[in-house]
Structure formats: structure tokens, C-alpha cells
Structure 1
Amino acid sequence: MLFLARMDIRFPPHLGAEEVSRLQGLEKEYSQALQEDGRFAGIWRVVGEYANFSLFDVESNDELHAILSGFPLYPYMTIKVTPLARHPNSIR
């Protein structure tokens, strides 16, 4: 099942720069492991924002929820998920 997720990140003002940096490092490790195993099929930055569009290829809604809630930055994210289906005009 394919899902497109827009993730917007907002850190609270009380979170220090060192903690933000630590969380960003953990986020990178987590997301790269998911990319390597194929469940995180792509990621694109939203220009001018601390946000991204991510494509997930997973077996179920529950699996996607587990992946999203496992992101170290999850507590600071607003996520909008869009389920995707193949378009009949697609040649891929």
C-alpha cells in the first residue's frame, strides 16, 4: 500500500539547540534504515519550510502508524497522510 505523508515539524521554544541536534541525528538514522528496507520509498523537502513529503510502501495502515509514531521527531510533527492508488493512465 502506498501512502504520501506531509510532515511539518515545529519545535517548542523551550527545546534547546543541543536537544534538537540530537533528535535530528536520531531521525536521520531511523529514516535511513526505513529507506534501506524499502518501506520509506522517497522523501522530498518542501522548499522554504521545515517540512517534507514522504512516500511509504507498507502492508497496512497499522504498519504506517507504527512507522510514523516511531520517528524521534514525531512529538513535534503535524502529519497529513494521503492513501494512494495507481492511476489508470500511468505507464509505470
Structure 2
Amino acid sequence: MLYQVEMTVLLPTDMPEAEMAEIKAREKAYAQDLQRQKIWRHIWRVAGQYKNISIFDCRDNAHLHEVLTGLPLYPWMKMDVVPLCRHPSSIHEDDR
């Protein structure tokens, strides 16, 4: 099942740089692993903001919840989730 997830990161301004760098490094590794597994299908940065719009391909709602709560930046994120379904006019076979 496909989901559109809009993620806004709201890190505390007083977070130490070293801690922030370590969390961001873990986040990048986790996100890239999910992309290799074809779970995190697309990611786009929203220009000028610490925000992205992503497409996830998960088995179900519980799987998506597991994936999202596993993000190292999860405690500092505001998320909006929209379940998606294939549009009948789409010519792309992988739009399930």
C-alpha cells in the first residue's frame, strides 16, 4: 500500500551540534536502507524548509507506523500521512 508522508523536522535550537550530527547520520543511513528495500520509494525536499514529502510502500498501516517510528528524527517530527491508491488513468504498472 502506498502512503504520502509529509515530514517537518523541528529540532530544538539548543540541541548540541555533535548530538544533532549523530542523529542526522543515523537518519540518513536508515532512510537509504529503506530506499534500497523499496519501502521508501520517493523523497523530495521542500525548498527552503526542513521538510520532505515522501512516498512509502508498506504492507499495511502497522508496517508504516513501524517504519516511521523507527526514524531517528521521529521524536522531533510533525507528520501528515495520506493513504494512496492507484488511479485508473495511470499508465505506470508499479502504482499499486
TM interval, short-chain normalised: over 0.9
- Counterparts of 1:1-92 in structure 2, within 5 Å, are 1-92=1-92
User: How many residues of Structure 1 are paired with residues of Structure 2 in the alignment?
Assistant: 92
CA distance in 1, matches of 2:50, 2:12: 14
User: For the residues of structure 2 that align with 1:79 and 1:20, how far apart are their CA atoms?
Assistant: 20
Q: Which runs of 4+ in 1 moved over 6 A?
A: none
Tell me the alpha carbon deviations over residues 11-60 of structure 1, each in whole angstroms, 9 at most, x when there is no partner. 11221111111100000010011010111111000001000011100101
Query: RMSD of aligned C-alpha atoms?
Result: 0.7
The letter of the residue matching 1:18 is A
**Structure 1 counterpart of 2:15, which letter?**
L
Gaps of 5+ in 2: none
TM-score of the superposed pair, with normalisation by structure 1: 0.97
- The 2-side partners of 1:76 and 1:20 are apart by 11
How does the TM-score come out when normalised to structure 2?
Answer: 0.93
Q: One-letter code of the match for 2:76?
A: Y
Partner Cα distance (1:32, 1:89) in 2: 31
